[in-house]
Amino acid sequence: MAHDGQTLAPNVYDSEPIPEAARAEIDRLLSSGDLFRYTAPCDAPVALLESEFAALLGSRYALAVSSCSAALFLALKALDLPRGAKVLIPAFTFAAVPSSVVHADCEPVLVEVGENYRVDMEDFARKLPGAGAVMISHMRGHTSDMDAIMRLSDAAGIPVIEDAAHSLGTVWGGRNIGTVGKVGCFSFQSYKLVNAGEGGIMITDDPEIAARAIIMSGAYETNWKKHPGLSNSCAHWQNKLPLYNLRMQNLSAAVIRPQLPLVAERVEKGRAGHDRVAAVLNGSIHLAVPEPLGPELRAPDSIQFNLVGDWTDQQALDFQAAAKGRGITVQVFGLTEGNARAFWNWQFLGDAPELPRTRAMLMRACDVRLPTRLTEAELDYIAEAILDSAKDVRG
């Protein structure tokens, strides 16, 4: 809790402690020095994490790597797209997503995103023909219309990669997000539901994609034999693909594994906390939290809302300042200098494309962290602080 005059604003940046069970395993690894995933003949922590994660999500194969960005890159490389292939991505995402496309020697095509933070399906359908792949980033855990995306992509024979970095635990029409497309990628970076500092994992049911990604992740010589069920495919690809060495090490797996049984509880708490704050914000005529889509059961650990009506940029900045005065950090995506989620800041892509819908959304969309550990009193403090700050500016 941080002091803010007489009030106590909750600290939304601190992490939760790592479960006690991680300590004994880390101690064991430190004592033996067995940190490399391929040293032990079997049951290395990274290998156990892969089988546990695949079981948790209901997919056939999982490959743990150094980050979600690495997983996105490997997923694209594993699709064996021709150099310069177009990859559709939502224009509202984190800079790591277009970066992974650039690393894979492909060309990102940015698709408009509506004020509900989801892919604009008209723009998607218009830009899809001729694409080599689709990479759907479920930004901040908001799921785009995966039924429509899969229908259009399947009809065109275009593979879909899901960037589920922020969607662990989200369910779409009864299916786990990350298992709807051909490949799903998740993050264990500290601001995600499972915290290992850094780390990522990709899942797929496709043995060829899994094998190719395993080889390229750095399973050199015969290390691929430690990935169950893929011998034929891995033997085929060994030495035919370059190694990028994006492996996860055992210490990370030791930190992640005891958190997996906590995912369901964190998802429940996160959703309840989000909906509690959303109900308060939606009581204001100046603020709106977009509804989830029908088939979507979300797993949020932050809240996004729009400033609705004729807010000026200055009023939006005043609102941010008023919230800050109450100890709450509100980020208007498009109004924070150099924001990595504003597409016009991705200068590595060249000139920013014309995307008026996404731009308008980013200029009025607000972002507030709501870690799942917050108490109801802390959530209520945040909700009231946001509401009062809007009142300060808009009356």
| Residues classed as catalytic | 192
Q: Is 98 in the site for ligand PLP (CB under 6 A)?
A: no
Q: Is 68 in the site for ligand PLP (CB under 6 A)?
A: yes
Q: What are the two backbone dihedrals, phi and then psi, of residue 354, each rounded to the nearest 5 degrees?
A: -80, 110
Q: Which residues pair with 232 in a beta bridge?
A: none
CB 229 within 8 A of CB 61: yes
- The closest of 260, 139, 138 to 199, measured between CA atoms, is 260
Stretch that binds ligand PLP, among 51-59, 90-98, 175-183, 376-384 (CB under 6 A): 90-98
Residues 310-329 that bind ligand PLP (CB under 6 A): none
Q: Is 217 in the site for ligand PLP (CB under 6 A)?
A: no
- The closest of 52, 15, 86 to 228, measured between CA atoms, is 52
Six-digit token string for 49: 């994490």
- Per-residue x/- track, 170-199, ligand PLP (CB under 6 A): -----------------x-x----------
Q: Which is nearer to ligand PLP, 53 or 94 (CB)?
A: 94
Q: Is 200 in the site for ligand PLP (CB under 6 A)?
A: yes
Q: Is 97 in the site for ligand PLP (CB under 6 A)?
A: yes
CB of 163 vs ligand PLP, minimal distance in Å: 5
CA atoms of 112 and 122, how far apart (whole Å): 9
Per this entry, what is the length of the chain? 395
Query: Which letter does DSSP use for residue 339 in this model?
Result: -
CB 152 within 8 A of CB 144: no
Q: Kind and range of the H or E element at 135?
A: strand 133-137
Q: What are the two backbone dihedrals, phi and then psi, of residue 57, each rounded to the nearest 5 degrees?
A: -90, -20
Q: Which is nearer to ligand PLP, 252 or 306 (CB)?
A: 252
Q: Is 96 in the site for ligand PLP (CB under 6 A)?
A: yes
Q: Is 94 in the site for ligand PLP (CB under 6 A)?
A: yes
Q: Is 144 in the site for ligand PLP (CB under 6 A)?
A: no
Output the CA–CA distances (angstroms, integers) from residue 331 to 24, 308, 365, in the order listed: 39, 16, 8
Q: Is 163 in the site for ligand PLP (CB under 6 A)?
A: yes
The helix/strand count (H/E) of the chain reads as 13, 16
Q: Which residue among 77, 166, 247, 359 contacts ligand PLP (CB under 6 A)?
A: 166
Q: Which residues bind ligand PLP (CB under 6 A)?
A: 67-69, 93-94, 96-97, 137, 139, 163, 165-166, 187, 189, 200
